[in-house]
Structure 1
Amino acid sequence: MTALMGVTMGFLAFLLIGGISGASAWIFYPGQSNGSNPGKFLVAAFLGFLAAAASSFIGQYLGFFQSGQMLEWLSAIFASCLAGCVFTALAK
């Protein structure tokens, strides 16, 4: 049960980190917006989540860090911000 709790909490944390990073990149990125399109806003949030989760799993697989370490969280935040900004720059 405790091992499963870490996976669930990691999923929720990456969902929150990636969603906020991707959505904030869409909101605060400078550029001409084509009206309020909730579809692209949700895609930016989803891509932020995928980037955060992927950076965590790839970093653990390559042995850079273990689950729950600070470097894992920093890589997740950086990857989700980068993915959100790249998507927003290409979409706007």
Structure 2
Amino acid sequence: MAIIDLMAALMGVSMGFLAFLVIGGISGVSAWIFYPGVSYGVKSGRILIAFLLGSITAAASSYAGQYLGLFQSGQILEWASAIFAACAVGCIFTALAK
């Protein structure tokens, strides 16, 4: 029984990380695509950086909010903070890069 509990705990952590990887990446890339300004062609390196920054920021905001006691894992406020943080960092990066 303890093995099943351990596997469930590990799968929850890995699935949460994958969810923040996807959500943060999409938020970062969409900030790059839809941010107004002159774009000199699609540069895959900068889109990859926006994806990684969004993913890292989404995961960091989730873990920071849980550490500070603002929310628990799985609450809607956790998802909202992850999306907002990823979009904010994506817009800041795009404003500096474009």
- Report the TM-score range of the alignment, normalised by the length of the smaller protein: over 0.9
- TM-score (norm: length of structure 2): 0.91
Tell me by how many angstroms 1:39 deviates: 0.2
SS in 1 for 2:86: helix
Q: Structure 1 residue 57 and structure 2 residue 28: aligned?
A: no
Alignment counterpart, residue 48 of structure 1, candidates 54, 68, 90 = 54
Unpaired stretches in structure 2, ≥5 consecutive residues:
1-6
- TM-score (norm: length of structure 1): 0.97
What's the Cα RMSD here? 0.7
Number of matched residues?
A: 92
Which stretches of structure 1, 4 residues or longer, exceed 6 Å deviation after superposition?
none
Q: Please give the residue correspondences for 1:1-92 in structure 2 after superposition, counting only pairs within 5 Å.
A: 1-92=7-98
Unpaired stretches in structure 1, ≥5 consecutive residues:
none
- The percentage of aligned residue pairs carrying the same residue is 72
Which of these two proteins has the greater Rg computed from alpha carbons? 2
